[in-house]
């Protein structure tokens, strides 16, 4: 599962959200009135940097000693 928290209301952000709504494998739950901090805490969201650090560590552990990557 991935959670996207949209912080701005610009045209591109709205277009991205509308596109995501059309995807058959995605569900959009809109919660108005919540701050970024409240929403991120509720859904245990992590920053992009933290996400990629965790992903990188998982890949390294999975392929430790392998020449496949």
Instruction: Tell the burial category of 39 from Cβ atoms under 10 Å away from its Cβ (0-12, 13-18, 19+).
Output: middle
Question: What tens digit of pLDDT does each residue of 2-59 get?
Answer: 667 666 678 888 888 888 889 888 777 777 777 777 877 877 777 788 889 999 999 9
Q: How confident is the model at residue 69 (pLDDT cuts 50, 70, 90)?
A: low
Query: Structure pTM?
Result: 0.42
What's the pLDDT score for residue 27? Answer: 75
């Amino acid at each position: 599962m991935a959670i996207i928290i949209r912080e701005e209301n610009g045209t591109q952000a709205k277009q991205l959200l509308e596109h995501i709504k059309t995807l058959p494998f995605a569900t959009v739950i809109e919660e108005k009135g919540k701050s970024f901090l409240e929403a991120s805490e509720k859904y245990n969201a992590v920053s992009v940097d933290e996400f990629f650090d965790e992903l990188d560590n998982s890949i390294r552990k999975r392929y430790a000693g392998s020449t496949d990557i």
